Amino acid sequence: MDILDSIVIGAGQAGLSTSYHLRRLGIPHAVLDADDAPGGAWRHRWDALTMQDVHGVAELPGAVPPPRTTERANRAVPAYFSAYERAHDLPVLRPVHVDRVTDDDGILVVHAAEGTWRSRTLVNATGTWTHPFLPHYPGMETFLGEQFHTVDYPGPERFRGKRVLVVGGGASAVQFLGALAPITDVLWATRRPPVWRTDDFTPEAGAAAVALVEQRVAQGLAPQSVVSVTGLMLRPQEQEAARLGVYDARRPMFQRIEPDGVRWADGSFEHVDAILWATGFRPAIAHLAPLHLRSERGGIQLDHGGRGTTAVKDPRIQLVGYGPSASTIGANRAGRTAARGVRQFLARAPIAADVR
């Protein structure tokens, strides 16, 4: 079986950026993507999310950014990625769902139902969308109403006229409340009081927030989302919900879930028809477990104080779209850093005659 110089797993923003830069550096590689069409996580975002609703999708390297129109994000971004893959003739194979990556005497073996690939280096770009985080609360399974996570949010219309509890303190919860408050009776619960930004979100403030996540990754801690350290902002779309007072009426988490609603710590009961868990995601990296990259602190430590993309425990492996680079702009930059990391490793590692 041929041995590739590099394999990229995932063809979202991070994987495509990496592939573009690997190609520019003349490094033969393949991109394996579990989805059956281009678009990464954007293919799966809810229909009501338009390009004007998203915070801003950065351009892919060497391209102009996708326009901020009223078009659905789950159509516009996939079309943008698809045109990009074609324009740069990127070597994407799909659908290929990688189950695990193992080590065979210094060569990385990538296993999927669709085939097996061998490579000298690997760039992991699998994002978080396929690994939603749902906390467990007592009584959750007894609830008779509907429960959704961000990953299967059906859009606001499904909730019209119902009593909905939104759980979570991130940007998605803020957006859901903004869309739901004008048409439903909505409640908000978070573990910690939300931190609002009142000042402008300048590039300096963004860099400071990213630096906080870098520090965690440098210490081998599990990364937080970048948004959790930037603070929350209300956009024009959320002004009506703000006027209705939903953001001020936020409550701490309930104690348990009962068939018709939730019970708060003070013993009082609230009836709800639906619970929407906007409780975030975790890095989708289970397939890397056989490589033992995690530190004892739970995360994968990256080089250069968390600003790099190379796994400290194994310089053959790059992680992009992980921790500080988990945004479209961060993923773009990480793609370039990772491609350079791959080149550096290949330049250093002697190529055994029997494997080429």
Ligand X SMILES: Cc1cc2nc3c(=O)[nH]c(=O)nc-3n(C[C@H](O)[C@H](O)[C@H](O)COP(=O)(O)OP(=O)(O)OC[C@H]3O[C@@H](n4cnc5c(N)ncnc54)[C@H](O)[C@@H]3O)c2cc1C
Q: Where do contacts with ligand X occur on this chain (CB under 6 A)?
A: 9-15, 32-35, 40-41, 45, 54-58, 96-98, 125-127, 129-130, 172, 284, 287, 321, 326-329, 331
Of all helices (H) and strands (E), which one includes residue 112? strand 107-112
Question: Can you tell me the distance from the alpha carbon of 227 to that of 319, in angstroms, rounded to the nearest whole number?
Answer: 19
Cis peptide before 65 (omega within 30 of 0): no
Contact between 126 and 284 (Cβ < 8 Å):
yes
Nearer to ligand X, 209 or 262 (CB): 209
C-beta of 156: minimal distance to ligand X in Å? 14
Nearer to ligand X, 40 or 223 (CB): 40
C-beta of 285: minimal distance to ligand X in Å? 9
Closest CA to 276 of 157, 183, 178, 187: 187
C-beta of 271: minimal distance to ligand X in Å? 28
Nearer to ligand X, 257 or 300 (CB): 300
Q: Is 121 exposed, middle or buried (0-12, 13-18, 19+ CB in 10 A)?
A: buried
If you compute the radius of gyration of the chain from its CA atoms, what whole number of angstroms results? 22
Which residue is associated with the tokens 């409640």?
187
Please give the torsion angle defined by the CA atoms of residues 246, 251, 257 and 261, in that order, rounded to the nearest 10 degrees.
Answer: -40
Nearer to ligand X, 114 or 273 (CB): 114
C-beta of 31: minimal distance to ligand X in Å? 9
At CA 256, angle to CA 254 and CA 262, rounded to 5?
65
Nearer to ligand X, 125 or 189 (CB): 125
Closest CA to 12 of 79, 81, 76, 97: 81
Nearer to ligand X, 116 or 142 (CB): 116
Contact between 45 and 73 (Cβ < 8 Å):
yes
C-beta of 73: minimal distance to ligand X in Å? 8
C-beta of 275: minimal distance to ligand X in Å? 18
Which residue is associated with the tokens 């069409």?
37
C-beta of 265: minimal distance to ligand X in Å? 30
Nearer to ligand X, 27 or 41 (CB): 41
Q: For residue 111, how many other CB atoms are within 10 A of its CB?
A: 15
